[in-house]
Structure 1
Amino acid sequence: MSYADSLTMFPWVNYQDENLNISIPVFSIHGNHDDPTGAEGLCALDLLSASGFVNHFGHSHSVEKIEISPILMQKGITKLALYGLGSIPDERLYRMFVNKQVSMLRPKEDQDGWFNLFTIHQNRSKHGPTNYIPEQFLDDFLDLVVWGHEHECLIKPTLNEQQLFYVSQPGSSVATSLSPGEATKKKIGLLRVKGRKMKLQEIPLKTVRQFFIEDVVLADHQDCFTPDTPHVTKKIEDFCFAKVTEMLHEAERERLGCPLTPEKPLIRLRVDYSGGFEAFNTSRFSQKFVDRVANPKDIIHFVRRREQKEIKGLNSIDYGKLFKPTAVEGLRVEDLVKQYFEAAEQKVQLSLLTEQGMGKAIQEFVDKDEKEAIEELITYQLRKTQLHLQSRGVTTEQDIDAEVRLFRDSKKNTAEEEKDIQEAMNRAKAHRLERGDGDFADQDVLDVTMDSDEGSVPVAAPTRGRGRGSRGRGGRGRGRGESDKEMQ
């Protein structure tokens, strides 16, 4: 086998060291929580590697060009080329793929006889325009990609129809948040490779704390209660008590025959109380289950859908025209918005909003999934304009149009405009938090012990998404020529 790599400070494998007795060699890339830093570019895995416990590979020191060299292994007729790339900030790696600065070296002899396995630790879900790595960026000579970082267990290999390789996402070994993706049963995989064929055996983990999550929409149960029903809050509390009890019974049934599974499960019941219902006291409710669940303070999570307001003129602009189907490298969303409205016909020119404000609102919508950013900006600016017109005492339609344009132009590229935009974005975020769609990644991580859980995790942005995005020629272009270079 070959492990020589000029990029690593420890270019050897532990089981070939005569001073070490290694039963099962472990090869590992680093993730985002142990990213190598400092002058020497070292991380905790390097300490374990230098001590002979693991073999750390897939570390790139360059921020300008990445060449991924495989570890070559052979047993009998089976030859395995193990590629690895440790965690790199997604935006930077995305840009490097687009600019053809990432290449994968291939064996010099018998290239088609190797089983090519690639391990990667990046965002697979699309969290922003460049805050993920599309599967289409990876080379099509690969046979299997083992994708880390994402927490949902999707370990069964799925075929990428464009690149024709399989992707396995093992997920996290324990639940780290109270989100639907974490409720998927945790498993590990045993991969068997013979020649160019593979088989992955799924092995359920026995010592993981159970996690059950369920959604309830109170408006769908009007046969039991309505907002006008006497003592409706008490009836809702009894209804939720029955639901949680049912989930606990399900946990007990699944735990039978598994003595290593922790007794107290994680339970999350998300209650949508839109439509005039009121929330009950969750602290009092939690006392009923304090000795039966691992997260008694976070069993119930109330959410409420915000009713969409009909705003005049909101649908008059075709937002789809703001974006083109192909990626525009180097341009921000607000730049595209400005270009669009500057070139637009007079009838669709902005008369109330500024291009900067609309661009920022759309940027929030695209990058942060702030669904109400555009609507809140329009509402806020409309209200400010109405107050301005009232203070000016304008009455005729012609004078109103002129005054509105003067008011808009007077704020362009000023500190006041920046302040108004920020205020509108803050209001959009506040409305989202009010209805229970908070920033779960920051506020809902569970306590390590799981016994005094303070977290609250409703649905996070898709726990896992198929990285689609623009394929471009950058992703595939460096797969031909660059990746087919022979290893020196």
Structure 2
Amino acid sequence: MSEISLDDEDTFKILIATDIHLGYLEKDAIRGNDTYDTLNEILECAKTNQADFILLGGDLFHENKPSRRCLHSCITMLRKYCMGDSPIHFNILSDQRVNFNTTQFPWVNYQDENLNISIPVFSVHGNHDDPTGVSLCALDLLSASGLINHFGHSQSVESIEISPILMQKGNTKLALYGLGSIPDERLYRMFVNNKVTMLRPKEDQDKWFNLFTIHQNRSKHGPTNYIPEQFLDDFLDLVVWGHEHECLITPTRNEQQLFYVTQPGSSVATSLSPGEAAKKHIGLLKVKGHKMNMQKIPLKTVRQFFIQDVVLADYEDLFTPDTPQVTKKVEDLCYAKVTEMLEQAERERLGCPLTPEKPLIRLRVDYSGGFETFSTSRFSQKFVDRVANPKDIIHFLRRREQKEDIKDEVTVDYGKLLKTSAVEGLRVEDLVKQYFEAAEQKGQLSLLTEQGMGKAIQEFVDKDEKDAIQELITYQLEKTQRHLQARGVTTEQDIDAEVRE
């Protein structure tokens, strides 16, 4: 990382943010405005810093079909901060019909003679606001209205060609690559089969700064349910990784591929997990030639979030499962821990008028070893006026029982803990797969695949695509009919045999 102090005619200034999740909990009485306040801060920051453009790494919206309020607020803010008479200081050299191939207006919005754009916004889609149904997403609405430049949308499920947006400011040349969210298993398979190609400029390849925006799992969630960094081309200079919510915005070097990776993280906590507790930032990236510098900008409107783990077995000096009124003593300990976090929040909030008053608090209590739980609803009443999430302050969990006897030593791996409430993080397609794996032979699928059925049910449940299952069945029936006709199969017995094969 090189220091770039000059804001001259050769330096790109790019405001980078990912996972804004606009509209998250918008109906919540306390947290309903959080995402709107933070998007306003991000756009205002771009204007204050005179950014050349804004780069968003996916999941601008939390819902696949944002509410009217959500779309209205987003359009209002983009119009307020990104439209105006300020000149644009960079040019686009690539074929824009290739870069923006999902719109009837295949050119960057600031070159549209009917629009006055002062800060262009370039965005890939995420897994929350990805195209469904007729292959449209919420970003396409903003693109059609001239407010956002949606790029990185791959329309093929067999292979991907990523063509960069080639930009030049003064003597600095920037190649902006983007890939919107694709199911991790499918993209992993494409990389393994060499079906993902990143195109490069024909001339002066070594003179371009190569910037890639991706929205996929970075940490491993399964054998193929993530994208390893070494899959990416080694000619890249910087990768902006969306989807992961923990803020790790300082670029880290991949020693194998020799590029840097920045993970801006989300600008709102959408789950009460440790990764979300890291302080939220956006980045101001400066690029001059092949040199870059990332300035971390802390977000002031983000609601504070504090999380602690308590292992009751560690407090033998205070109580054991056999202590009289042990549940009351455990509750008192939890009360003291929550109060400590509230006091810390209050100290850190001093001098920060934009920070919301009520913080998010989560206390994860491991009650393994014979302890009993107490009423979390009664406990939450003590803090109902002081925290933003009174209903889920306490989260009880237990270690998996180990076969070996462990004496005196208590070790907790929070990645392997049993959940006591509704199953957290389990995907719809996982449930479908588990069902059919456990089903008897007569319950197995013949025409439909588990993967296809899982995907259709996920769209039906998560994205309100009411026709997803019917469309899958119709497609698979037509495909099977064409196959049978091509094989000349006509009798019912032969059809059954062909389907089983």
Please report the TM-score for the alignment, with normalisation by the length of structure 1: 0.63
* Alignment partners' CA distance in 2, 1:33 and 1:435: 24
2:294 & 2:240 partners in 1: Cα distance?
11
Distance verdict in 2 for CA 1:168–1:2, change over 3 Å: same
Cα separation, 2, equivalents of 1:209 and 1:440: 26
Distance in structure 2 (CA, Å) of the matches to 1:252 and 1:434: 31
Secondary structure of the 2:223 match is coil
Q: Distance in 1 between matches of 2:381 and 2:192?
A: 54
Verify: 1:4 aligned to 2:100, yes or no: no
Is 1:154 aligned to residue 248 of structure 2?
yes
Deviation at 1:307, TM superposition (A): 2.4
Match of 1:333 in 2: none
Instruction: Within 5 Å, give how 1:9-408 maps onto structure 2.
Output: 9-39=104-134, 41-309=135-403
Deviations 1:82-119 (A, max 9, x none): 00111111111111111111111111111111100000
Distance in 2 (alpha carbons) for counterparts of 1:57 and 1:9? 13
Q: Contact 2:396–2:420 at 8 Å: present in 1 too?
A: no
> Which digits, 9 at most, give the CA deviation of each residue in 1:176-235, with x for residues without a partner?
011111111111001000110110011111111111000011111111222232222211
Tell me the SS of whatever aligns to 2:97: coil
**Closer, same or farther in 2 for the Cα pair 1:51/1:439, shift >3 Å?**
closer
User: Which amino acid is the alignment partner of residue 96 of structure 2?
Assistant: Y
Distance 1:61 1:436 in 2: 36
**Which letter maps to 2:298?**
P
Query: Residue 325 of structure 1 aligns with which residue?
Result: none
Q: What RMSD, in angstroms, separates the aligned Cα atoms of the two structures?
A: 2.0
Q: Whole-Å Cα distance in 1 between the matches of residues 425 and 282 of structure 2? A: 29
Which amino acid letter does the alignment assign opposite residue 247 of structure 2?
A: C
Q: 1:14 to 1:438 in 2, by over 3 A?
A: closer
CA contact (8 A) 2:103 2:144 kept: no
CA distance in 2: counterparts of 1:44 and 1:298, whole angstroms: 31
The structure with the larger Rg is 1
- Is the Cα–Cα contact under 8 Å of residues 31 and 87 in structure 1 kept in the other structure? yes
Corresponding residue SS for 1:191: strand
Would the aligned equivalents of 1:77 and 1:195 in 2 still touch at CA under 8 Å?
A: yes
Which whole-Å CA distance do the structure 1 matches of 2:272 and 2:257 have between them? 34
Deviates more, 1:159-168 or 1:4-13: 4-13
By how many angstroms is 1:26 displaced?
0.5
Displacement after TM superposition at 1:9 (Å): 4.3
Distance 1:271 1:130 in 2: 32
Deviation of 1:259 after TM superposition, in Å, equals 0.9
CA distance, structure 1, for counterparts of residue 266 and residue 400 of structure 2: 33
Separation in structure 1 between the aligned mates of residue 314 and residue 160 of structure 2, nearest angstrom: 54
Shift of the 434–54 alpha-carbon distance from structure 1 to 2, 3 Å rule, reads: closer
Q: What is the CA–CA distance in structure 2 between the aligned matches of 1:21 and 1:56, rounded to whole Å?
A: 18
* Residue of structure 2 equivalent to 1:432: 418
* In structure 2, distance between residues paired with 1:63 and 1:171: 27
CA–CA distance in structure 2, aligned partners of residues 19 and 164 of structure 1: 43
Tell me, in whole angstroms, the C-alpha distance in 1 between the residues paired with 2:138 and 2:248. Answer: 27
Could you report, residue by residue, the CA deviation over 1:235-292 in whole angstroms, capped at 9, with x for unpaired residues? 1111111111000000001111111111111101111112222222222211111100
SS in structure 1 at match of 2:96:
coil
Q: In the alignment, is the contact (CA less than 8 A) between 2:358 and 2:388 conserved in 1?
A: yes
CA distance in 2, matches of 1:258, 1:441: 38
- Residues 103 and 143 in structure 2, CA contact (< 8 A), matched pair in contact too: no
Aligned-pair CA distance for 1:38: 3.5
Q: 1:286 to 1:434 in 2, by over 3 A?
A: closer
Give structure 2 stretches of 5+ with no counterpart.
Answer: 1-93, 406-416, 429-501
Gaps (5+ residues) in structure 1?
312-430, 443-488
CA distance in 2, matches of 1:46, 1:434: 40
Query: Residue by residue, what CA displacement relative to the aligned partner does 1:115-171 show, whole Å, maximum 9, x if unpaired?
Result: 000001111121111111111110000000001111111111111111011111111
Q: What is the CA-CA distance between 1:66 and the residue it aligns to?
A: 1.1
Give me the whole-angstrom Cα distance separating, in 2, the residues matched to 1:142 and 1:26. 22
Q: Offset at 1:433?
A: 3.9
Offset at residue 18 of structure 1 (A): 1.8
TM-score with structure 2 setting the length: 0.62
Helix, strand or coil at the partner of 1:247: helix
